[in-house]
Amino acid sequence: MAITEQYTSSECLICERTNPPGAMLCSACGAPMSLIEEAAIQQRSPRIITILGESNVGKTVYLGFLLDMLSKRAGGFEAIPKGAYSVNLQQSVISHMNARQFPPKTPLEVDHWKWAYYQVRHYDAHADEWFDLLLPDMAGEALAQEIETPQTYKAITGLLAKSAGALVLIDAAVAASGSPHPDYFALKLMSYVDRQFATKRGGKARNPIAIVLCKADYCPECFDNPRAFAETNLNRLWNICQSRFANVEFFAASTVGSLGFAHDEDDNVVPVPLHAAPRGILEPFEWILDRIRAMPAK
Amino acid sequence: MALRLFQRKPHTRGPVSGGVRTAQAFVPAPVEKLASDPLHALCQQERYNVIIQRRREWAEHPDGERLCREAAVRLESRMALVPAGRVTLAQTVVDAPGAPEVDVEVEPFLLDIHAVTNAQYQRFVDAGAYEDFDLWPRAIWPHLIHMRDQTGKPGPRYWRDGRHDQKLAMHPVVGISWYEAAAYARWIGQRLPTEAEWQMAATWRIKSETDLLRRFPWGDAMDRTRCNIWASGIGHTVPVDAYPEGAAPNGVLQLVGNVWEWVDGDLNLTTTEGKPIVAEMDIKATRGGAFDTYFESQATGLFRTGHIALARLHNIGFRCALSIGDAPWLREAV
């Protein structure tokens, strides 16, 4: 079905459910219908890059800095937000971090997630191609539920089914401390992604996947050699990536330059980002875009 | 002896290495042969204030008087006088109008014009300073074994085989903890500036009838062409003599940008509710922002932050200071 027909029939871009005209959100998956409007204006379906990761791994902050850097034309990128709603996420992240606070947790409800629709171009000598990118900021708890019980969140299922690639965020600081938890979560997550991406039994998934080792400022050796860090500290993840994914790379990233802690009004210990020093934010995105460039648009 | 106070020495902007630095091959700095004569060795190591402090030892030395005089000239040329003044230190993480602040009086002192370079720090490493326990507080002795470079040799985190990359000889040394910075300062007969002193040097709130200060060494508005921060688009350190347009009135360079600078003192900030900011170990104050500082509001002469004392990061360096009382050559000059 042509994208313009999809718009008139209000078919959701994510889960393909037909919605009544004038609907704001998809009745099945909760994705905003304004995405379809944007896609119709562009006369092409956007390529979706999904950002996956556990709760508190820093998906929102990573995505906020990524979008902000893109809109500042960092790293030879040019990015244009399509619609004011696309700017809300980066505005929220940057405003909070500038005030030395982390942004609020992404709500569990799909209709409260922030979505960013950007046109992005990397103006290097080899390419002058614009990408329509859809970058949703999903709640980590929702992803965890979806992994345990697939189809709980149709938005996630639909997103992954339509994704050209994925950025998988892993908490390197917790992994470096010796906890097996990030490795187990990553193993479950990659098993789930494998099921969504794999084309046939025995075949490796070809969609590019960038494994981003977050909070790497806590373990600087992660920046020295992300692959070696993953093989040592996230061995289960490393093994499934080698076995099941043909197009995977490891990166280290951090956004906070220094972290303190304080008690809040309810005497809970809360982290305080003393200042921001984003590092390794663009590299995984650039890598994944290069890989997607070689793939035909869906 | 002319003191560098309001005069600005013309600087030539140092070469800014382009491209991605990690893609370039590591070129180990050559080993410098040290003179057997202790006074000449101190000169080679640029430990000028040590030479002056120990000048009675050189009374019989044939070059003693000349080298002491030369050491004073060299020291005077690499440091600048920061006048007496008053600084206001924010006490909360969000320094909003009306938030608690503390006023601190600052005595005049001398501050290095440049951050300590890799080439300068190389002499400290070559002198075996990591094995000289007198330079280190006893509490840090068990941690000295971890203060190694990429190849396991004593030295800054990003060096190899105890050598810095020759291409980065004039870049600020990074990958050193607060303790390494303090030990180096002690080794050359100087000290780290206090947080108040650093802020005084960057904001110039001198004692006068008018209560004037500047947010940046060059004035009151951020200018990304005068410093190396994230928005400058360079993405790594530059030589310590780059950005002459960003100098303070006394010629001190790069107080804002390029690398955060370790200063002497713990970071004592609270939340707006007055709850102290803590970490798993002591947080030492760092000032000035670095090449990767994203928010311009966090790269000013007033912004207070810190890092844990053992952090050996790619974006923290330091510079040294000297009290007027510890600079007899300066007292004589004054």
Residue B266 DSSP class: E
pLDDT digits (tens, 9 = 90+) for A30-75: 777 877 777 777 777 788 888 999 999 999 999 999 999 999 989 8
- Tell me how far apart the 2 most distant CA atoms of chain A are, in Å: 55
pLDDT for the residue B122: 98
A278 and B CB contact within 8 Å? yes
CB-based burial of residue B281 (10 Å sphere; 0-12 exposed, 13-18 middle, 19+ buried)?
exposed
β partners of residue B278: A261
Question: Shortest CB distance from B294 goes to which of A99, A258, A277?
Answer: A277
Q: Where are the alpha helices (DSSP H) in chain A?
A: 3-8, 34-42, 59-71, 85-98, 140-148, 154-162, 172-176, 181-197, 221-224, 226-233, 235-244, 282-293
Question: Which residues does chain B have within 8 Å of residue A275's beta carbon, measured at their own beta carbons?
Answer: 289, 293, 295, 298, 303, 305
DSSP B138-203: GGGHHHHTT-B-TTSSBS-TT-BTTB-BGGGTTSBP-S--HHHHHHHHHHTT-BPPBHHHHHHHHH
Are B228 and B243 in contact by the 8 Å Cβ rule? The answer is yes
- Chains A and B form CB pairs within 8 A to the count of 79
pLDDT for the residue A8: 54
B91 and A CB contact within 8 Å? no
B233 and A CB contact within 8 Å? yes
Stretch 201-240 of chain A: residues touching chain B, C-beta under 8 Å: 217, 220, 223-224
Give the whole-number percent of chain A exceeding pLDDT 90: 46
**Rounded-to-10 torsion of CA A236, B280, A217, A121:** 100
CB-based burial of residue A176 (10 Å sphere; 0-12 exposed, 13-18 middle, 19+ buried)?
buried
pLDDT greater than 90 at residue B330? no
Quick one: tokens of B283?
């947080």
> What sign does the dihedral A220-A226-A232-A235 (CA atoms) show?
positive
Residues 6+ apart with CB under 8 A from B39: B51, B58, B61, B63, B64, B67
What class, spelled out in words, does domain B2-333 have in CATH? alpha beta
From A9, A97, A3, A1, select the one nearest A42 (Cα to Cα).
Answer: A3
Can you give the C-alpha Rg of chain A in angstroms? 19
pLDDT for the residue B315: 97
Q: Say yes or no for a CB contact (<8 Å) between B273 and A72.
A: no
pLDDT digits (tens, 9 = 90+) for A96-154: 999 999 999 888 888 888 888 888 888 775 666 778 888 888 888 999 999 999 888 88
What's the CA gap between B106 and B206, in Å, rounded?
9
Chain B residue nearest residue A255, CA to CA: B294
Query: Could you report how far apart the first and last alpha carbons of chain A are, in Å?
Result: 12
**Rounded-to-10 torsion of CA A146, A152, A166, A26:** -160
DSSP B8-51: ----PPPPPPPS-GGGSPP-BPPPPPPPSSHHHHHHHTT-HHHH
Q: What is the ipTM of this complex?
A: 0.88
pLDDT digits (tens, 9 = 90+) for B82-139: 999 999 999 999 888 888 999 999 999 999 999 999 999 999 999 999 999 999 999 9
Give which of B93, B258, B266 to mutate to test A binding, by max A Cβ within 10 Å: B93
Sequence spans of domains, chain B:
2-333
Question: Which residues does chain A have within 8 Å of residue B277's beta carbon, measured at their own beta carbons?
Answer: 260-262, 272, 274
Give which of B147, B158, B275 to mutate to test A binding, by max A Cβ within 10 Å: B275
Question: Which residues does chain A have within 8 Å of residue B307's beta carbon, measured at their own beta carbons?
Answer: 257-258
CATH superfamily of A46-294: P-loop containing nucleotide triphosphate hydrolases (3.40.50.300)
Place of tokens 């000169």: B43
Chain A residue nearest residue B271, CA to CA: A262
Are A57 and A63 in contact by the 8 Å Cβ rule? The answer is no
A73 and B CB contact within 8 Å? no
Regarding predicted confidence, which is higher, A47 or B17? Answer: A47
From B46, B115, B79, select the one nearest B286 (Cα to Cα).
Answer: B115
**Rounded-to-10 torsion of CA B320, B326, B330, B334:** 120
